[in-house]
Amino acid sequence: MPRTRICSFCGKEIEPGTGVMYVRKDGTVFTFCSSKCERNMIKLKRKSRKVEWTEAYRKEKAVRVK
Ligand SMILES: [Zn+2]
C-alpha cells in the first residue's frame, strides 16, 4: 500500500507517485507536492505560515480570528 505523504510546505497530501523529495545537506528530508512548493521553501526561503495558499497559513489565521 503506498504511503501518503504530506507536503512539507503547503501541508496538502501528496498523491503516491507525484511530488518531489528534497534532502538537505544536514539530512533533513522534505517532501513537496509540486515544484512550486519546493521553490518557495528552498529557493525563496518563505515561511509557510506567511504564504496564503498553505495549510499552515490557514491554521494560523483561524487561531488569530478567534
Ligand atoms: Zn505543497
Q: What is the pLDDT of residues 6-64, one digit of tens each?
A: 999 999 999 888 999 999 999 999 999 999 999 999 999 999 999 999 999 999 888 77
What separation in Å is there between the alpha carbon of 59 and the centre of ligand 1?
15
Superfamily assignment of 5-65 in CATH?
Ribosomal protein L24 (2.30.170.20)
pLDDT of res. 63: 79
What separation in Å is there between the alpha carbon of 64 and the centre of ligand 1?
23
Burial class (CB in 10 A: 0-12, 13-18, 19+), 33: buried
What separation in Å is there between the alpha carbon of 26 and the centre of ligand 1?
22
What separation in Å is there between the alpha carbon of 8 and the centre of ligand 1?
7
What separation in Å is there between the alpha carbon of 48 and the centre of ligand 1?
10
> Which phi and psi angles does 29 have, rounded to 5°?
-105, 130
